[in-house]
Amino acid sequence: MRTTILVPILSRGRHGWQERRCAALLASVAAVSAITVFTRAAAQGVLPAYGADVRVGDLRKQFENAMESGPKTLSDRRWNFSPSIELSETYDSAVLLPRGRGRDFITRITPIFAGTLDAQRLKGALAYSPSYNLYALHRAESGFTHDLNANLAATLVPDLLFTDLRGYAATQPLLGYAVPSTGSSGRVNEVQTSHFSAAPYLQKRFGDFAILNAGYTISQTSRSPLAPQSTLTLTDGTTGNFSSQHEAVSIATGPDFGRIKGSLAAMAAQYDGSGVYRGAHSETVTAAAGYALTRTVTATGSLGHETIIYGPGGPKKIDGLTWSAGVVLTPNPDSAITAKYGRQQGASSFSFDGTYAPSARIRLLARYSQGVGTDLQNLQNALAGTVSGPAGVAVDRASGAPVQLGNLLNQQPGVYRSTVASVSGVYLLDRDVITLDWSNSEYVLLSGGGGSGFGSNTSMNTAAIWKHLISEVFTTSASLQYGVRSAPLLKTDTTTTAVSVSAQYLLSETLSINILISHMVSTGQTFGFAPVRDLVVVGLRKAF
């Protein structure tokens, strides 16, 4: 995560198609990605949390378009490419260094490559922004970082054979403050994460009687510190690199069955890497059924069996029956709520995933889920359920809502049982967007930590964000965030409060300027981070 990710400049005018076009592609991409989502549903890991986007930009338009039920024609062109370059200067009062910390001025040069493709057999989106970060006072901290969010869906044989390609890269803090979106505080505290996958799959319809899906996904996921050596505590074992293969086959009923829906699915996954990934594998078989009680209420249930095995240092084998019972509610075309209770991955738990639109101006989003896996497994599974949305923000394939792919403590080694809950509310006005966001995460270390990392821990975060459109060329934003982090090995909780204000001004259709001022205060165990940190960012972006 770079500090400047807080305030990207989104061009309007003739370049405004970028955000709207990406959002409009979501429904089309989702339509040909069923097997990837199906594989993810039974894979290990938790659902990514809905999160508030604290970046400056026309969030009102982004959110309105992301929540649309279907794509609309915006251009006769089947592809669009929008390169730009951003130059920013950051003052950071507390850069984390190999020995201590200090202030610095960071110059960032970031070319941005963004585009969409909407052809008959190819649909996708690309957002790639490599960045060179030049530290004025501590030159050893200078270096490159990469951020990528891209997907491509291809129809190889109409109505039969498809493929889905996914690429993702991000720089994230090893430890970080107890609130998101505060930057990494320096290269010594950054890791580079990347993920690439290819998922060919077959989808065959037998009239209105049944639908057959069969697919294969191969993935490569890696993570490494940007600095050769780090003096930070609790960072052993942060390097990770593994490949995985997933196979899935399912058959589901069609419209001929009326109110009854049923499916039978078998899935398997194999991992190749070191430590807990060496020889790890899982197999699941699930029979699921649903009955539409009314037009808006469907009762669901499932019964199956699972086997989950990790490599050396991992938790004991998980083997046994799985089951669930729940309900799916669709109160209006813009709302979908799924609530279930059952047993999966060796434990009984409740799960909830809901998007509710009581009016055209209000969106409520909530998630609660539990799963077993490493942080990289959770990231891999979450990526299977998202696509690249407006301005490269990851959005849910089904609802189009923005999601957080990371968490505050996601760089720690070991296998965890993770419980994640999040609630977000967005109120859209003609010139304002008000966002309230709450999330809570609990990570129980099962094994494989090797004595390093935080071990079991919890984090809670809240955010209130107000964005105001002063004019068609001038946007302002203010945010207040508060977070608490707890762990058994900590003598005291870590708390962080962050306040920021920012503005974006469009000098022309292709040139814009932005500014961010942020103030953070932390108490308790800060692990070398400054109790008080100030940021000032000034950026200029030119679109071509």
User: What is the rounded CA–CA span in Å between residue 208 and residue 246?
Assistant: 28
pLDDT at residue 59 above 80? Answer: no
Q: How far is CA 304 from CA 118, 247, 263, 289, 316, in A?
A: 39, 17, 12, 12, 20
Residue 176 pLDDT grade (very low, low, confident, very high; cuts 50, 70, 90): low
- On average, the pLDDT of the chain sits at 81
pLDDT of residue 257: 94
Burial of 332 (0-12, 13-18, 19+ CB in 10 A): exposed
Q: Evaluate whether 104 touches 534 at the Cβ level (below 8 Å).
A: no
Burial of 294 (0-12, 13-18, 19+ CB in 10 A): exposed
139 Cβ partners below 8 Å, 6+ apart? Answer: none
Of the candidates 444, 451, 424, the residue with the CA atom closest to the CA atom of residue 486: 444
Q: Phi first, then psi: give them for residue 18, nearest 5 degrees.
A: -55, -55
182: alpha, beta or left, given left = phi > 0 and alpha = psi -120 to 50? alpha
Handedness of CA 154, 160, 161, 163 (dihedral sign): positive
> What's the whole-number mean pLDDT along residues 218-226?
87
Residue that the structure tokens 């964005």 belong to: 467
Beta-strand runs (E) in 345-489: 347-359, 362-373, 386-388, 394-396, 403-404, 415-428, 432-447, 457-471, 474-486
Domains of the chain, CATH where assigned: 3-543 (2.40.170)
User: What is the rounded CA–CA span in Å between residue 7 and residue 321?
Assistant: 48
234 Cβ partners below 8 Å, 6+ apart? Answer: 175, 412, 452, 453, 454, 527
- Round the CA-based radius of gyration of the chain to a whole number and report it: 23
Q: What is the pLDDT of residues 486-539, one digit of tens each?
A: 877 777 888 999 999 999 999 999 999 999 999 999 998 777 788 999 999 999
Convert 266-321 into a string of H (helix), E (strand) and C (coil): EEEEEEEECHHHCCCEEEEEEEEEEEECCCCEEEEEEEEEEEEECCCCCCCCEEEE
Q: What is the pLDDT of residues 61-95, one digit of tens each?
A: 444 443 443 334 444 568 888 899 999 999 999 88
Of the candidates 54, 35, 53, 51, the residue with the CA atom closest to the CA atom of residue 43: 35
Q: How many Cβ atoms are within 10 Å of 259's Cβ, its own excluded?
A: 11
Q: How far is CA 190 from CA 202, 374, 411, 431, in A?
A: 40, 19, 10, 37
User: What is the rounded CA–CA span in Å between residue 116 and residue 79?
Assistant: 6
148 Cβ partners below 8 Å, 6+ apart? Answer: 127, 128, 129, 167, 168, 169, 170, 194
Compute the residue count for the chain: 544
Q: What is the pLDDT of residues 469-500, one digit of tens each?
A: 999 999 999 999 999 988 777 778 889 999 99
> What's the whole-number mean pLDDT along residues 433-452?
80
pLDDT of residue 36: 38
Q: Evaluate whether 124 touches 29 at the Cβ level (below 8 Å).
A: yes
Residue 376 pLDDT grade (very low, low, confident, very high; cuts 50, 70, 90): confident
Q: What is residue 175's DSSP assignment?
A: S
Tokens of 195: 């993920």
pLDDT at residue 239 above 90? Answer: no
> What's the whole-number mean pLDDT along residues 273-296?
93
> What's the whole-number mean pLDDT along residues 107-119?
93
Residue 394 pLDDT grade (very low, low, confident, very high; cuts 50, 70, 90): confident
User: What is the rounded CA–CA span in Å between residue 465 and residue 447?
Assistant: 38
SS3 call for 207: coil
pTM of the model: 0.81
